[in-house]
Structure 1
């Protein structure tokens, strides 16, 4: 997903951060210092409503797009190089054994409710994530902590996270149980942004006793409080409104008010832009691309940093047979799917790690498109015509999946053609689609994708295949062990080789079929002079430049 304004090449080639960095990071702008504030209104069209605004408990693109404006983490992402940069931490150093990180915190920062940002606040957040209960994790399968740190407090001996200690002089220490090469990159995830401890407690952040569009959420997830440049104002049906944080420590930019307005159909989003109702929208589809070009609208493409896939659930007996899974892979015509439904320059995928990341395996096994062979494999397999429920989302556009209904129709046609008994199960995205297909259940097949959040192969294979989960029912202790080992290897040839081996083993066992590394695109109105497009979607709207 990406390009034109922010290329991904530098991001994907970045080396691990040195043991210490001391750049001071952004300073308040002259306008902020002088007391003059932003005055513009910016309206962004989203493809779906957010699933919640507590980034620690969700993982969808549209929720993160909003929470990135409100909350900040210790570490940011350089817009050009993709390297971790100072944000709420101005510098850091790493112990010789790679297990202790000491962060110098930015002075004078307060949360939007007036409470101080300090070492105890950092530790409150880390310990909250670490102590998420199993029951809470089941309610909110979008939690990222376990996918990154391997385990929560209920399995502390397995966790990479050990503890957090506030230190004198505005410092904080994070201790790990083992070296974790991607630790600093992982801290750039929206899930690890800092929330006000006062607000977390006052709004019972870990009690999901509220609902929003049928989703279980906490009171905090309806009104988050961070240190970021924008403050939550309201959430009214299809619109979330944010206002400039008048006490923000950094550059406040031009925009005083942001409106995120949901248009769940590609045509209505495009029409809203053409009618001047919105200033930008994401997830431009193939069908709209040419129309926008003909109307002279700006389109910004992002380099591919996501993978779209057909998921398979091995907890369904018919899919435990490797020959059945191989037949499904052979039935799929990836080239046709890409040509019909994805933006030009989208490439076919044979593995889950994008091509420019270290660990991509040029020789990962791929069975190719061979319907005749697929029929032979099914005949040789244990499959006897059992019904396979195929879940796909309605009323949504994802950066990795622009037209789900059309992609489903083509894939199901190809699967039925080789002899599979497919039962369609359409689920509205806002009716809990993501939770349904990533939790244990009766889903045999499903459409989904993974958008990378930081430039490390672990961000792709770890959360998806690092342990058995409800999405795939995949069980391979050898792969699990290799992923755990690779996390701690220093960057270099051995680590790259380990991830190449992991990719090959995953591809050979076919727990899911990677289909495409999609190009995604945004459309902008004539008001927009500059938009901070990012391969990892780290797009903070203080950097948007509008015509004055």
Structure 2
């Protein structure tokens, strides 16, 4: 029997045998649930409790703290550990009760009052109540720049006030229409008061204590994260297919960075599922005992993001040339199932999305002309120069490697050199904080147009060195607009400004692409396309 809370320990989990070599060369028609949000390979059978699910993942979560780290790898782990005040229904997009059974919002969306559910506890046995919510809100504020996703959700916070044991009021200095949807986001998932009181480093070292259906058993950096089922869990959100405890006994996220190793491990039965399916492996993991499960991410498209405080990224001509100097058909070709076309800065699955593709239509001749007019002339080695300085950008990245390599090739044809370097997530975050980059790739997943403000605001960390006061005014205006139609119009104005100034270069929508073996059922995602393993079960 699993304990209510298993202490975090640094024990090394079972290592998988590294499987190298080519994947199966079987030509197959795409099958399974490609394009869907879940897979049920034994839909006629009743769910069965028990079993271990092993997922091969290409990225280490780095820090198991949903309020600090915003990578897919980290959030898919921490979603299993933490619950939120509300849930955004993955099918309808509606915000529904979860840890809060009801709420009231004042007329200008500046005060939110939540009535909390009874009987909820954290895995350390402590109760969930209004004081815990306040501790979470205050704790995120205390994290400051260490909470790059959660922090902007609380911009303009006046106070989190305990009204009584089961009622908490969260007030803002100005209208904040985005906040209700934000309460469904994993980054605002509730942790225990003990976790909320820790420093950023202490939280990463210990792992968060949540109220979710699983508990962190162990985390070994660049190896594996192991979660175990929590006994007594009984407060799943309305969209869940069952009540009570999760079905799985254990989930292991095994870090296997090499695509061929991950695919080989799945095909040989060493793991049950794998993420980041690449185009060359799509056929072999879509049939013959396997299914492909994909879902496009809402939010801010994967884009080239510039350091606009200094260096080449501060030059509008360079940014504009790079915007129209990349062939997005080539981008989608190298991505396969992990990518989709984006109509603008916001992906097509995001409320407020609109078609801005005319701003970044592929035009290499036009890109070259922009650079020439700005004084960037081709040097002897083919790289452009201006005032004795070569047009080269230091380009660290931690994901989207095939696209980054393509960018390096296509920008070289324009006379732009990218000095690309793949680094760990932790080193990447450090580089952003220190401004030790000229450009990179980035994105942010959220099913709300306020993802624009979270990424582009010049308040807080301002990693990209933006200083456009007019843009900031628009970002703040949409955050305070309660009318959905008016917010969508503001989102269009924001995207127009961003693209006119080439503050970012939209490339593609990120899609979660998992391959799953037969016998794994209800492998699915929540609204922001992070894994939700509560209903998942394994056929005996």
Can you give the 5+ residue segments of structure 1 that lack an aligned partner in the other structure?
A: 8-30, 32-36, 151-158, 209-217
Q: What SS does the aligned partner of 2:101 have?
A: strand
TM-superposed deviation, 1:322: 1.8
Q: What SS does the aligned partner of 1:407 have?
A: helix
With over 3 angstroms needed to count, the CA separation of the structure-2 counterparts of 1:539 and 1:219, relative to structure 1, is: closer
Aligned match of 2:395: 391
Moved over 3 A (4+): 468-471
Given the alignment, which residue of 193, 216, 219 partners 1:232? 216
TM-superposed deviation, 1:2: 8.4
Given the alignment, which residue of 450, 462, 484 partners 1:458? 450
Within 2, Cα distance between the matches of 1:345 and 1:129?
A: 32
Aligned match of 1:283: 276
With over 3 angstroms needed to count, the CA separation of the structure-2 counterparts of 1:476 and 1:523, relative to structure 1, is: same
Aligned match of 1:472: 464
Q: Are positions 1:147 and 2:143 aligned together?
A: no
Between 303-312 and 358-367, the greater mean CA deviation after superposition: 358-367
Within 2, Cα distance between the matches of 1:330 and 1:64?
A: 33
Within 1, Cα distance between the matches of 2:250 and 2:170?
A: 36
Aligned match of 1:315: 309
With over 3 angstroms needed to count, the CA separation of the structure-2 counterparts of 1:521 and 1:427, relative to structure 1, is: closer
Q: Is the CA contact (8 Å cut-off) linking 1:75 and 1:85 kept in structure 2?
A: yes
With over 3 angstroms needed to count, the CA separation of the structure-2 counterparts of 1:304 and 1:2, relative to structure 1, is: farther
Q: Are positions 1:370 and 2:374 aligned together?
A: no
Q: Deviations over 1:329-353 (max 9, x none)?
A: 2221111121233338821x35211
Given the alignment, which residue of 329, 334, 338 partners 2:332? 338
TM-superposed deviation, 1:472: 2.4
Q: Is the CA contact (8 Å cut-off) linking 1:273 and 1:280 kept in structure 2?
A: yes
Q: Are positions 1:64 and 2:60 aligned together?
A: no
With over 3 angstroms needed to count, the CA separation of the structure-2 counterparts of 1:350 and 1:110, relative to structure 1, is: closer
Aligned match of 2:56: 45
Q: What SS does the aligned partner of 1:343 have?
A: helix
Q: Is the CA contact (8 Å cut-off) linking 1:321 and 1:382 kept in structure 2?
A: no
Aligned match of 1:417: 413
TM-superposed deviation, 1:200: 4.0
With over 3 angstroms needed to count, the CA separation of the structure-2 counterparts of 1:430 and 1:508, relative to structure 1, is: closer
Aligned match of 1:186: 182
Q: What SS does the aligned partner of 1:531 have?
A: strand
Q: Are positions 1:444 and 2:428 aligned together?
A: no
TM-superposed deviation, 1:482: 0.8
With over 3 angstroms needed to count, the CA separation of the structure-2 counterparts of 1:2 and 1:381, relative to structure 1, is: farther
Q: What SS does the aligned partner of 2:80 have?
A: helix
Q: What SS does the aligned partner of 2:231 have?
A: coil
Given the alignment, which residue of 67, 81, 84 partners 2:92? 81
Between 289-298 and 260-269, the greater mean CA deviation after superposition: 289-298
Aligned match of 1:481: 473
Within 2, Cα distance between the matches of 1:91 and 1:73?
A: 13
Q: What SS does the aligned partner of 1:198 have?
A: helix
Within 1, Cα distance between the matches of 2:196 and 2:275?
A: 31
Given the alignment, which residue of 412, 421, 425 partners 1:426? 421
Q: Are positions 1:328 and 2:332 aligned together?
A: no
| Number of equivalences | 480
Structure-to-structure mapping, 1:106-121, within 5 angstroms: 106-121=117-132
Q: What SS does the aligned partner of 2:337 have?
A: coil
Between 321-330 and 108-117, the greater mean CA deviation after superposition: 321-330
Between 517-526 and 111-120, the greater mean CA deviation after superposition: 517-526
Given the alignment, which residue of 393, 402, 407 partners 2:403? 407
TM-superposed deviation, 1:68: 0.9
Within 2, Cα distance between the matches of 1:419 and 1:267?
A: 33
Q: Are positions 1:268 and 2:270 aligned together?
A: no
Q: Are positions 1:510 and 2:502 aligned together?
A: yes
With over 3 angstroms needed to count, the CA separation of the structure-2 counterparts of 1:72 and 1:532, relative to structure 1, is: same
Larger helix percent:
1
Within 1, Cα distance between the matches of 2:108 and 2:418?
A: 53
Q: Is the CA contact (8 Å cut-off) linking 2:312 and 2:391 kept in structure 1?
A: no
Cα RMSD (Å) = 2.6
Q: Deviations over 1:472-516 (max 9, x none)?
A: 222211011011011111233322211111111110000121011
Within 1, Cα distance between the matches of 2:298 and 2:65?
A: 24
Within 2, Cα distance between the matches of 1:70 and 1:230?
A: 5
With over 3 angstroms needed to count, the CA separation of the structure-2 counterparts of 1:219 and 1:172, relative to structure 1, is: closer
Q: What SS does the aligned partner of 1:515 have?
A: strand
With over 3 angstroms needed to count, the CA separation of the structure-2 counterparts of 1:424 and 1:229, relative to structure 1, is: same
Q: What SS does the aligned partner of 1:92 have?
A: strand
TM-superposed deviation, 1:232: 1.4
Within 2, Cα distance between the matches of 1:409 and 1:301?
A: 24
Q: Is the CA contact (8 Å cut-off) linking 2:408 and 2:420 kept in structure 1?
A: no
Q: Is the CA contact (8 Å cut-off) linking 1:200 and 1:220 kept in structure 2?
A: no
Q: Are positions 1:546 and 2:535 aligned together?
A: no
Q: Is the CA contact (8 Å cut-off) linking 1:365 and 1:507 kept in structure 2?
A: no
Between 293-302 and 255-264, the greater mean CA deviation after superposition: 293-302
Within 1, Cα distance between the matches of 2:486 and 2:34?
A: 29
Within 2, Cα distance between the matches of 1:131 and 1:430?
A: 22
